[in-house]
Amino acid sequence: MFGLIGKITVVDGQRDTLMSILLEGTTGMPGCLSYVIAADSGDDNVLWVTEVWDNSESHAASLQLPAVRDAIAKGRPLIAGMTPVATTAPAGGHGL
Amino acid sequence: MFGLIGKITVVDGQRDTLMSILLEGTTGMPGCLSYVIAADSGDDNVLWVTEVWDNSESHAASLQLPAVRDAIAKGRPLIAGMTPVATTAPAGGHGL
C-alpha cells in the first residue's frame, strides 16, 4: 500500500470552504482505501489530508480524474501552502 | 470526530516488530473509525499512526482496553521517541 500525510495551510478564513471542495471532489477514486480530510485542532488555517492507496499508480491516476482536477482548480486559490509531511507504506489497521 | 497523527521513532531495526505489535493490539476498538499504521518511506526507523475516532472519549477509553495496554507494554521498549504531530477534527473522507 501507498500512503501520504499532507499538511495544507489555508488562506485565512477559507478552511471550511476548502474542506468542502476536497470532500466533494475526492469520492469514488479507484484504488483509494482511505482518504481523511481533517481540520487541525490547534490552528484554524491548517488542515490535514491522510491518504492510503492500494499503490502509488492509483494515486497518480487519481490526479487525472475530472472531479479531482476540478477540486484542485477550485481549491488552489484557497491554499497558502502545502507541506508533504510523509510518504508511507501502510502496513494495515482499521478502516482500510 | 476526533483524530490524531503521530510519528513514532523506533529503536534501530525494530520497526517491523513494533508494527506487528500495534497491528495485533489495535483491532476491535469501540468508536475507532480509522487506524492506520504505516512505515515512513524515507526513514527505516520511523512509523506513522493516523487515527480517527467518533469522539475523544472513545480514544481515551481505548487506552484502557487490555489488548491496547498489552501492545503499549510490549511496544514501549522498541520506541525511541514519539512526536504528536497533530490533533484534528476530521471532516470526512473515504474509509471512515
Name the grid cell of B55.
469522539
What are the pLDDT digits (tens) for B2-46? 999 999 999 999 999 999 999 999 999 999 999 999 999 999 999
Compute the Cα dihedral for A84, A8, A28, A69 and give only its sign.
negative
Asked if residue A64 belongs to a domain, the reply is yes
Residues B7 and B80 sit within 8 Å (Cβ to Cβ): no
The C-alpha of A27 sits at a distance from chain B's nearest C-alpha, in angstroms, of 7
Q: Does A62 touch chain B (CB under 8 A)?
A: no
What pLDDT was estimated at residue A68? Answer: 96
Q: Do B36 and A90 touch (CB under 8 A)?
A: yes
Do the chains contact at A96 and B95, CB–CB below 8 Å?
yes
On the question of pLDDT at B95 being above 90, the answer is no
> What's the rounded Cα separation, in Å, for the pair B48 and A16?
26
Question: Please, are residues B54 and B96 in contact by the beta-carbon 8 Å criterion?
Answer: no
Residues spanned by the domain of B20:
2-88
Residue count of chain A, please give it: 96
- pLDDT band of residue B73 (cuts 50, 70, 90) is very high
Is residue B96 in some structural domain?
Answer: no
Number of domains comprising chain A: 1
